[in-house]
Structure 1
């Protein structure tokens, strides 16, 4: 098909565009499910009087297709982040329309065009939510490109019922971002979205396990068919899990999904009737490998303490003493690394200072997990050396970061995402811990990021990655029930941000499963990860469904 597209579009103009669909604040809240479509005016150059999403070309000055989507929304509707929010991104696709008439200046007409489409789904914010179907209440200010807009039934588009009145391939654009609420994929996306108790590594494993559930479902419900067509559909479901389940943790999730997908594809034999079973077994093996990676990270942290940190620390003090470590909240990666280090070196003693995080108070969970493990080792038949005499834990509020930073040796942070430049996205409070510990210790404290390398993101600036602002009631519920002043809602904005960026300049070491990395190592790995993503998320030769580096 790729060759036929190329042949058909060889002499046609090519245009890369964004196609932006708008949905209610709660897209699945009630049936019929709705999408907002716009009636194109007579002043546009193509598809006049047709129903369409917000659309426009990706210009050379756009940083990314997503940047172009925001720009087009602002230009054509006046809406910005106060009124709408990114909900999902869809896999890019390409098609040729040889019948389209492109009208230029002086009614000059050109027939035919090859379109490369980047689909996006936005939804109304809670403050802008329209529950009455009255588009006049939305406050849209449409420009000359549209005559009006109206809510349409999602099923009417997907079924083809109204496609004669729509721009071409609207059903494909919608199909790239819409997920059947009765599907295994929808359940998996909801699990990722709603899970606020696990970190990026665990969520990445959950995503791969969800791929297994999808394959098992297909084994039970599908007859053996065209493996190529099945794989394309499976790729698109994997794309959703990679990028739409939990965007703030998409580096780890997308890396895990892409790695598993790459290995599974190598197991497909089109002539084998049991290709689904081969894929399932490959995905099972990918899940098993993930546990080994975590153990390797812990092993490398122990080596770091033995070979890099402890000799330097002993050089300062002249004798072995309890290492003072500052960390925050709760991280399964850090917990496992701490326990492994104590197990690997019986002479090692630690004072672990944990900054409690709000509003979920995960620090106490971290401390409790360590004390429970220490207690377990005293039980009959238990394995592992005793650690309660070599581990002391101090737990304090995150506001006490200055106090707990006094004479600290190491500040350990995890990572939910690492940019190509080495900037680290981690739990809010990480930046304060890094900066204040350096100031309080006159620069002697070392800031160490412990993370699996899968959390290294594809090329792109830290600012390009999504910020996760969560349900503010998690925070406000701890305030009791004060009587707010009449102007409270007008004057006060409550934010519940889980993650923040720690610039690379404030991080001394990056420890992963392969050892200690430099920022140059991270940059090179970021490029290789992009190359793998581009290879895995490709549906046809020369036609990928993943965005280009630097345009994310």
Structure 2
């Protein structure tokens, strides 16, 4: 733990904010068999000597965020770098007072997964403790406790349960939550709407498996903590997941305040969440109807008797797919659809294959695939750019698959009269905040590198080197491979937001964003 000068409050207590990082490993990749490393503090540190603790350090003025503190302290105290660890849980911060040492601590908990050698990490052998610790041990998280015999620092369990809410849920509910969070984290093919469905289903299944003989404040706090982690697991998709989860919590809250037996409450909660999932099935239909109406009013009518509409899109979206098919079937025009392939997972190619699977004589749809680098060629002469959204900021900026912004910039140059429209559920609107506050999702470089095999000389060597550190010396130069999935499209480039609640303006978006912010604070602020 780094030693900074703690500020002193009016109550005479020294106040210090720290990052507490728990290091986990999952044998055979199974989160149900989780082990957590606790480090025994040495006799040279100023507080809590010889006690088990997470990797801890004060948030310094030069740290951009508590997460930056966590990464710095992990490196200083264990020697591990980002090539050997992966952030997989962000705990809800909290504060407590330890009067015995005159301190008020604010804890920012994090959970990191230790990568094995097979993943390019260094595994346990890569851990080299410094003077602040005299050793470390691996524990089943459920065996960690506050007893004197265990010998942990104050509030050790409280910090742990904030990154491992499974601690309080019981074995069956814990397994459901771990599995659901892992699915959310690892699914890079489904869109935000599908992941929001998974979020609701996970929360519902956790409730089914919980011990609900007594539904009290602790039960409700455990549910909200599970929901917190569901919202935080995929920040890039967090807007849709959070909106859906907050709506689910609102339904749950309305039921648990009723004067009925606990088991009856659980039954009604399950029914309410099933209804929420069923209601979500009609969102695509509503977006589709609004899209067709928009094309009639703003594309066909303004261009006269047009026989063909040229549309540019990219990536895969079930919403866009449904809208395009219905437009081709109901507008009485031919659709000239141009799709960018969308590397590295080629979701654009997936969209093309899904559309071409449909056998319908009433659908006049012609598809052309373009490489991502051909945006300008693909945009030439188009009438409209159609994009989905994974997140919409308060000001109307849209986060979508990488390649979206270049496509629009090319359109503005070669087809300046074309419209840019966003097809999106309103739940993808995020709470108030700046674009820089939304975490960007950076993914494994191997997804890019593996496509180079057989094309680039020595690609196998490149893959081996970069999978280990993502930065090394190749042919005398430093090389870094970045695999970003999403980028922001400024609101100034967007003509219309077509949603499940009709044609929306930026003013509508601001109003919904503020509502999401208030509801999120109501459920999570006091956890």
Does 1:335 find its partner at 2:316? no
Write the mapping of 1:460-471 to structure 2, written as runs, cut at 5 A.
460-471=433-444
Does 1:278 find its partner at 2:252? no
Q: Is the 8 A contact 2:85 2:121 kept in 1?
A: no
Q: Is the 8 A contact 2:449 2:462 kept in 1?
A: no
Q: Is the 8 A contact 1:417 1:426 kept in 2?
A: yes
Write the mapping of 1:123-162 to structure 2, written as runs, cut at 5 A.
123-124=113-114, 129-133=121-125, 135-136=127-128, 146-147=132-133, 150-155=136-141, 158-160=144-146
Range that drifts further, 467-476 or 432-441: 467-476
What is the root-mean-square deviation of aligned Cα atoms in Å?
3.4
- How many angstroms does 1:326 deviate by? 0.2
- How many angstroms does 1:508 deviate by? 2.9
Q: Is the 8 A contact 2:399 2:486 kept in 1?
A: yes
* Distance in 1, Cα, partners of 2:62 & 2:433: 15
- How many angstroms does 1:301 deviate by? 1.8
- Structure with the bigger RCO (C-alpha within 8 Å, sep 6+) is 1
Q: 1:366 to 1:494 in 2, by over 3 A?
A: same
* Distance in 2, Cα, partners of 1:394 & 1:486: 35
> Partner of 2:4 in structure 1?
none
> Partner of 2:413 in structure 1?
439
Q: In the alignment, which of 236, 250, 262 is matched to residue 262 of structure 1?
A: 250
- How many angstroms does 1:493 deviate by? 3.4
> Partner of 2:339 in structure 1?
354
> Partner of 2:219 in structure 1?
230
Q: Is the 8 A contact 1:297 1:512 kept in 2?
A: yes
Q: Unpaired runs of 5+ in structure 2?
A: 1-8, 466-471
Q: In the alignment, which of 180, 187, 190 is matched to residue 195 of structure 1?
A: 187
> Partner of 2:421 in structure 1?
448
* Distance in 2, Cα, partners of 1:14 & 1:257: 37
> Partner of 2:230 in structure 1?
241
* Distance in 2, Cα, partners of 1:84 & 1:117: 21
Does 1:418 find its partner at 2:392? yes
> Partner of 1:475 in structure 2?
448
Q: 1:119 to 1:398 in 2, by over 3 A?
A: same
- How many angstroms does 1:59 deviate by? 7.1
> Partner of 1:23 in structure 2?
23
Q: In the alignment, which of 260, 277, 281 is matched to residue 291 of structure 1?
A: 281
> Partner of 1:370 in structure 2?
355
Write the mapping of 1:46-85 to structure 2, written as runs, cut at 5 A.
46-55=47-56, 65-66=66-67, 69-70=70-71, 81=82, 84-85=85-86
Does 1:387 find its partner at 2:363? yes
- How many angstroms does 1:151 deviate by? 3.8
SS at match of 1:197: coil
TM-score, reference length from structure 1: 0.79
Q: 1:493 to 1:65 in 2, by over 3 A?
A: closer
SS at match of 1:183: helix
> Partner of 2:378 in structure 1?
404
> Partner of 2:484 in structure 1?
497
Does 1:427 find its partner at 2:401? yes
Size of the alignment, in residue pairs?
A: 493
* Distance in 2, Cα, partners of 1:409 & 1:336: 19
Range that drifts further, 479-488 or 418-427: 479-488
- How many angstroms does 1:196 deviate by? 2.5
Q: Is the 8 A contact 2:200 2:277 kept in 1?
A: yes
Q: Unpaired runs of 5+ in structure 1?
A: 1-8, 103-112, 379-385, 539-543, 546-552
* Distance in 1, Cα, partners of 2:435 & 2:78: 28
* Distance in 1, Cα, partners of 2:124 & 2:79: 21
Range that drifts further, 281-290 or 419-428: 419-428
> Partner of 2:499 in structure 1?
512
- How many angstroms does 1:283 deviate by? 0.7
Write the mapping of 1:9-20 to structure 2, written as runs, cut at 5 A.
13=13, 15=15, 17-20=17-20
Q: 1:412 to 1:153 in 2, by over 3 A?
A: same
SS at match of 1:266: helix
Q: 1:509 to 1:67 in 2, by over 3 A?
A: farther
* Distance in 2, Cα, partners of 1:163 & 1:439: 70
- How many angstroms does 1:328 deviate by? 0.7
Q: Is the 8 A contact 1:267 1:279 kept in 2?
A: yes
Q: 1:129 to 1:96 in 2, by over 3 A?
A: same
Q: Is the 8 A contact 1:135 1:149 kept in 2?
A: no
Q: Is the 8 A contact 1:23 1:121 kept in 2?
A: yes
